[in-house]
Structure 1
Amino acid sequence: MRELVYYVAVSLDGRIAAPDGTFDAFAQSGDHIDMILREWTDTIPAVGLEMLGLTADRSRFDTVLMGWNTYAAGLHVTADPYPHLEQYVFSRSREAGAVPAGVTLTGCDPVDLVRELKRRPGAGIWLCGGGRLATALAGEIDRLVLKVNPVVLGAGRPLFDDADGYRPRDLHLESSVPYGSGVVVNTYVPAA
């Protein structure tokens, strides 16, 4: 069965973006970037792949899920960030015409969609963000991969963003890899 992987950069204080929605405080260079380019190529937006001369082979992921705010963060660059992936953007307030043909805008229950996607053949499903969508899907997340950046934002968008909708869940640290850049990549799976 396909896995839902919440793969995201995060600050030491659990923020996935600054209060204005930007994430440029996270390390943009260093040895962890080499690892991302090598092992997580499917998560690089098309504009980045083109600039770097890389090709996403869809071996890790073939589907990406985003909340509207995560999707909108890149609209100044492109409205079709991951054309190499099946793209789903969750919003209950946007009209279908707000996204191009290669992006599926949906107001459906994210849990229902993820369960349906998991039943289909294919590679992994990448939960790109944001915190509200992650909270809705917390019980469906099979792997949590955090690129922990050595920065404290103090405020901003949290990793999980809905105190009323989230229930504690024990996780097991599967691996932790520190990089010279100061970024530490921690991988967690649900505790047995």
Structure 2
Amino acid sequence: MRELVYYVAVSLDGYIAGPEGQFDAFSLEGDHMADLERLADALPTDAAAHLGITQPGTRFGAVLMGWNTYAAGLPDGITSPYRHLEQFVFSRSRHSGTDDDGPENLVVTDRDPVDVVRELKREPGADIWLCGGGNLAAQLVDEIDRLIVKRHPKLFGSGIPAFASSAYRPSSFEMVDNRTFETGVAVTEYARRR
């Protein structure tokens, strides 16, 4: 069965973006960048092509994101950031009452994210990547099978937390992999304890 994997970059104080939604404080230079190929399916399609990285579609087959995460690329004309994956954008206000087939393999929906994830998990294919943001992660916390946290040695002070405040119950995960780099970035993978 497919797993839901929350793979996300975070600051030391647990934020996935700064106070105004900016994510450009995360370092894009250094030895941790060599780890990108391991999870190449989680790179935007155009960025992978620019870097000469092949996206095999073997780790992730679908990506989920909230509207604000998706909208980050719109000012630059990026309307389909992950064309190599099935893309699901969740929004309560930007829809026509039914799922909208967007550009290049993208659906904007107001459906319950839990229902969508449970349907996707029953389908054959590679895992499902939860790209962001914090509100969507909080809604899906009980469906998350793995967390891959790329922790950067930065403090944001405030911003968008990895999990928005919510009434979810404590969950236990066990560490299954940990990679540290000279840049101070650490990539740690956790699997849910069942």
* TM-score, structure 1 normalization: 0.94
Q: Runs (4+) of structure 1 moved beyond 6 Å?
A: none
The whole-number CA distance in structure 1 between the counterparts of 2:172 and 2:141 is 11
SS at match of 1:76: helix
Deviation at 1:98, TM superposition (A): 9.8
Aligned match of 1:21: 21
2:188 to 145, 163, 186: 186
In the alignment of these two chains, the number of paired residues is: 190
SS at match of 1:49: helix
2:125 is the counterpart of 1:122: yes
Aligned-partner residue type, residue 170 of structure 1:
S
The whole-number CA distance in structure 2 between the counterparts of 1:179 and 1:107 is 39
Aligned match of 1:56: 55
Aligned-partner residue type, residue 157 of structure 2:
G
Cα distance, 1:53–1:175 mapped onto 2, change above 3 Å: closer
The whole-number CA distance in structure 2 between the counterparts of 1:185 and 1:53 is 22
The whole-number CA distance in structure 2 between the counterparts of 1:101 and 1:176 is 35
- Report the aligned-residue RMSD: 1.5
Deviation at 1:17, TM superposition (A): 0.2
Structure 2, unaligned runs of 5 or more:
none
Aligned match of 2:164: 161
Q: How does 1:79-118 map to 2 (within 5 A)?
A: 79-96=79-96, 99-118=102-121
* TM-score, structure 2 normalization: 0.93
The whole-number CA distance in structure 1 between the counterparts of 2:129 and 2:101 is 22
Deviation at 1:68, TM superposition (A): 0.5
SS at match of 2:190: strand
The whole-number CA distance in structure 1 between the counterparts of 2:162 and 2:187 is 15
1:175 to 163, 174, 177: 177
The whole-number CA distance in structure 1 between the counterparts of 2:95 and 2:173 is 37
Aligned match of 1:41: 40
2:71 is the counterpart of 1:72: yes
SS at match of 2:2: coil
Aligned-partner residue type, residue 190 of structure 1:
R
Deviation at 1:53, TM superposition (A): 2.4
Structure 1, unaligned runs of 5 or more:
none
SS at match of 1:40: helix
